[in-house]
Amino acid sequence: MNFPLDLRFKLVAISRQIAVRDSLGTLICYVKQKSFKLKEAVTVFGDEAQTRPLYTINADRIIDVSAQYRIDDVNGQPLGAVKRRGMRSLWRAHYEVSRDGGQPAFVIEEANPWAKVADRLLSELPVVGLLSGYVFHPRYVVTRTDTGSVVMEAEKQPAFFEGKFRIDARAAMSAEDERLAVLSLLMMLLLERHRG
Protein backbone atom coordinates (compact mmCIF):
# COMPACT_ATOMS: atom_id res chain seq x y z
CA MET A 1 0.00 0.00 0.00
CA ASN A 2 1.13 3.54 -0.71
CA PHE A 3 0.85 5.38 2.61
CA PRO A 4 -0.59 7.62 3.89
CA LEU A 5 -4.15 6.36 3.37
CA ASP A 6 -6.98 8.90 3.41
CA LEU A 7 -10.36 7.84 4.79
CA ARG A 8 -13.54 9.80 4.13
CA PHE A 9 -16.80 8.95 5.84
CA LYS A 10 -19.78 9.38 3.52
CA LEU A 11 -22.04 12.15 4.81
CA VAL A 12 -25.56 11.24 3.80
CA ALA A 13 -26.15 7.51 4.03
CA ILE A 14 -28.37 5.18 6.02
CA SER A 15 -25.40 2.94 6.81
CA ARG A 16 -21.86 4.10 7.60
CA GLN A 17 -19.56 4.10 4.58
CA ILE A 18 -15.88 4.91 4.17
CA ALA A 19 -13.85 5.46 0.99
CA VAL A 20 -10.15 4.62 1.46
CA ARG A 21 -7.60 6.08 -0.98
CA ASP A 22 -3.83 5.80 -1.05
CA SER A 23 -1.30 8.63 -1.43
CA LEU A 24 -1.75 8.52 -5.23
CA GLY A 25 -5.53 8.97 -4.94
CA THR A 26 -6.27 5.38 -5.99
CA LEU A 27 -9.25 3.74 -4.30
CA ILE A 28 -7.97 0.95 -2.04
CA CYS A 29 -11.34 -0.13 -0.72
CA TYR A 30 -14.87 0.99 0.07
CA VAL A 31 -16.26 0.00 3.46
CA LYS A 32 -19.97 -0.37 4.18
CA GLN A 33 -21.43 -1.16 7.59
CA LYS A 34 -24.78 -2.88 7.38
CA SER A 35 -27.51 -0.90 9.10
CA PHE A 36 -30.28 -2.14 11.38
CA LYS A 37 -28.28 -5.21 12.47
CA LEU A 38 -28.04 -6.40 16.07
CA LYS A 39 -24.68 -7.99 15.27
CA GLU A 40 -22.14 -5.68 13.64
CA ALA A 41 -21.57 -6.62 10.00
CA VAL A 42 -19.18 -4.82 7.67
CA THR A 43 -18.33 -5.54 4.05
CA VAL A 44 -15.15 -4.22 2.43
CA PHE A 45 -15.47 -3.74 -1.34
CA GLY A 46 -12.87 -3.14 -4.03
CA ASP A 47 -15.00 -0.49 -5.75
CA GLU A 48 -17.41 2.33 -4.85
CA ALA A 49 -20.24 0.66 -6.79
CA GLN A 50 -19.99 -2.15 -4.19
CA THR A 51 -19.86 -4.93 -6.76
CA ARG A 52 -16.54 -6.57 -5.73
CA PRO A 53 -16.56 -7.74 -2.10
CA LEU A 54 -13.04 -8.30 -0.72
CA TYR A 55 -13.52 -8.90 3.02
CA THR A 56 -16.22 -9.29 5.65
CA ILE A 57 -15.94 -8.27 9.29
CA ASN A 58 -18.54 -9.79 11.62
CA ALA A 59 -19.12 -9.60 15.37
CA ASP A 60 -19.20 -12.81 17.35
CA ARG A 61 -22.08 -11.64 19.54
CA ILE A 62 -24.92 -9.17 19.78
CA ILE A 63 -24.25 -5.69 21.25
CA ASP A 64 -21.39 -6.30 23.67
CA VAL A 65 -18.50 -4.06 24.79
CA SER A 66 -16.17 -7.09 24.64
CA ALA A 67 -17.19 -8.30 21.18
CA GLN A 68 -14.66 -9.84 18.83
CA TYR A 69 -14.82 -8.98 15.13
CA ARG A 70 -13.67 -11.73 12.79
CA ILE A 71 -12.05 -10.65 9.51
CA ASP A 72 -12.46 -13.05 6.57
CA ASP A 73 -11.55 -12.74 2.91
CA VAL A 74 -14.16 -13.09 0.17
CA ASN A 75 -13.68 -16.90 0.14
CA GLY A 76 -14.39 -17.17 3.86
CA GLN A 77 -10.74 -17.73 4.80
CA PRO A 78 -9.98 -16.11 8.19
CA LEU A 79 -7.34 -13.36 8.24
CA GLY A 80 -7.61 -12.49 11.91
CA ALA A 81 -9.75 -10.77 14.47
CA VAL A 82 -9.98 -7.50 16.36
CA LYS A 83 -11.35 -7.50 19.90
CA ARG A 84 -12.45 -4.58 22.04
CA ARG A 85 -11.12 -4.84 25.57
CA GLY A 86 -14.47 -4.35 27.32
CA MET A 87 -14.42 -2.03 30.32
CA ARG A 88 -10.86 -1.04 29.53
CA SER A 89 -12.15 0.58 26.31
CA LEU A 90 -14.83 2.73 27.88
CA TRP A 91 -12.49 5.64 28.63
CA ARG A 92 -9.56 5.00 26.30
CA ALA A 93 -10.09 2.88 23.19
CA HIS A 94 -8.14 -0.39 23.52
CA TYR A 95 -8.34 -3.19 20.93
CA GLU A 96 -6.31 -6.35 20.45
CA VAL A 97 -5.65 -7.63 16.93
CA SER A 98 -4.77 -11.30 16.40
CA ARG A 99 -3.83 -13.30 13.34
CA ASP A 100 -6.39 -16.00 12.57
CA GLY A 101 -7.59 -16.42 16.17
CA GLY A 102 -4.12 -16.76 17.69
CA GLN A 103 -2.28 -14.63 20.20
CA PRO A 104 -2.54 -10.82 19.87
CA ALA A 105 -0.15 -9.47 17.21
CA PHE A 106 -1.04 -5.78 17.61
CA VAL A 107 -2.71 -3.45 20.07
CA ILE A 108 -4.66 -0.37 18.96
CA GLU A 109 -4.93 2.35 21.60
CA GLU A 110 -6.19 5.88 21.72
CA ALA A 111 -3.33 8.34 22.22
CA ASN A 112 -5.35 11.01 24.07
CA PRO A 113 -8.93 10.24 25.17
CA TRP A 114 -9.58 13.91 26.05
CA ALA A 115 -9.34 14.86 22.36
CA LYS A 116 -12.22 12.49 21.50
CA VAL A 117 -14.33 13.74 24.41
CA ALA A 118 -13.81 17.41 23.50
CA ASP A 119 -14.42 16.73 19.81
CA ARG A 120 -17.70 14.93 20.58
CA LEU A 121 -18.97 17.54 23.06
CA LEU A 122 -18.18 20.56 20.90
CA SER A 123 -19.55 18.96 17.73
CA GLU A 124 -23.00 18.91 19.36
CA LEU A 125 -23.07 22.69 19.95
CA PRO A 126 -24.72 24.89 17.29
CA VAL A 127 -22.25 26.93 15.20
CA VAL A 128 -19.29 25.93 17.44
CA GLY A 129 -19.83 22.33 16.29
CA LEU A 130 -18.89 23.34 12.75
CA LEU A 131 -15.42 24.30 13.97
CA SER A 132 -14.76 21.35 16.28
CA GLY A 133 -13.48 19.29 13.35
CA TYR A 134 -10.67 21.79 12.97
CA VAL A 135 -9.59 21.89 16.59
CA PHE A 136 -9.60 18.39 18.10
CA HIS A 137 -8.00 15.43 16.36
CA PRO A 138 -8.33 12.04 18.07
CA ARG A 139 -5.33 9.81 17.28
CA TYR A 140 -4.96 6.04 17.52
CA VAL A 141 -1.67 4.11 17.51
CA VAL A 142 -1.02 0.50 16.49
CA THR A 143 1.84 -1.21 18.34
CA ARG A 144 3.35 -4.67 17.94
CA THR A 145 2.79 -6.85 20.99
CA ASP A 146 6.17 -8.58 20.62
CA THR A 147 8.37 -5.45 20.40
CA GLY A 148 6.12 -2.66 21.67
CA SER A 149 7.06 -0.53 18.65
CA VAL A 150 4.52 1.72 16.91
CA VAL A 151 3.88 0.44 13.37
CA MET A 152 0.85 2.46 12.28
CA GLU A 153 -1.20 5.44 13.37
CA ALA A 154 -4.61 6.91 12.47
CA GLU A 155 -5.49 10.53 13.12
CA LYS A 156 -8.60 12.58 12.49
CA GLN A 157 -7.99 15.35 9.95
CA PRO A 158 -9.47 18.87 9.83
CA ALA A 159 -12.71 18.83 7.82
CA PHE A 160 -16.02 20.63 7.49
CA PHE A 161 -19.21 18.54 7.30
CA GLU A 162 -17.45 15.17 7.01
CA GLY A 163 -15.27 12.71 8.86
CA LYS A 164 -11.72 12.44 7.58
CA PHE A 165 -8.91 10.28 8.92
CA ARG A 166 -5.37 9.57 7.75
CA ILE A 167 -3.53 6.31 8.34
CA ASP A 168 0.27 6.46 8.30
CA ALA A 169 2.75 3.58 8.43
CA ARG A 170 5.47 4.12 11.03
CA ALA A 171 7.51 0.93 10.46
CA ALA A 172 7.98 -1.75 7.81
CA MET A 173 5.47 -4.61 7.96
CA SER A 174 4.69 -7.67 5.86
CA ALA A 175 1.86 -7.20 3.35
CA GLU A 176 -0.33 -9.58 5.38
CA ASP A 177 0.24 -7.71 8.66
CA GLU A 178 -0.28 -4.37 6.91
CA ARG A 179 -3.64 -5.54 5.52
CA LEU A 180 -4.75 -6.93 8.90
CA ALA A 181 -3.75 -3.72 10.73
CA VAL A 182 -5.57 -1.48 8.22
CA LEU A 183 -8.76 -3.60 8.29
CA SER A 184 -8.66 -3.61 12.11
CA LEU A 185 -8.24 0.18 12.17
CA LEU A 186 -11.23 0.55 9.82
CA MET A 187 -13.43 -1.54 12.12
CA MET A 188 -12.17 0.30 15.19
CA LEU A 189 -12.88 3.70 13.59
CA LEU A 190 -16.44 2.60 12.73
CA LEU A 191 -16.98 1.54 16.35
CA GLU A 192 -15.35 4.60 17.89
CA ARG A 193 -17.17 6.97 15.54
CA HIS A 194 -20.43 5.41 16.72
CA ARG A 195 -19.39 5.91 20.38
CA GLY A 196 -18.40 9.53 19.76
Specify the pLDDT at position 161. 63
In this predicted structure, the answer to whether residue 188 has a pLDDT above a threshold of 50 is yes
Average pLDDT over residues 122-127: 66
Domains held by the chain: number: 1
Which of 113, 176, 103, 177 has its CA nearest to residue 142? 177
Q: What is the mean pLDDT of the chain?
A: 85
Specify the pLDDT at position 51. 95
Specify the pLDDT at position 126. 65
Q: How many CB atoms lie within 10 A of CB 136?
A: 20
| Residues of the domain holding 110 | 5-195
- State pLDDT tens for residues 26-77: 999 999 888 767 778 899 999 999 999 999 999 988 867 778 999 999 999 9
In this predicted structure, the answer to whether residue 196 has a pLDDT above a threshold of 50 is no
User: Quick one: what percent of the chain has pLDDT higher than 90?
Assistant: 54
Q: Which residue has the higher pLDDT, 80 or 65?
A: 80
Sign of the four-CA dihedral 187, 4, 80, 51 = positive
**78-87 CB contacts, 8 Å cutoff, 24+ apart:** 79/55, 79/176, 79/179, 79/180, 79/183, 80/105, 80/180, 80/184, 82/57, 82/108, 82/183, 82/184, 82/187, 82/188, 84/191
For residue 137, what is the domain's CATH number?
2.40.160.200
Q: How confident is the model at residue 191 (pLDDT cuts 50, 70, 90)?
A: confident
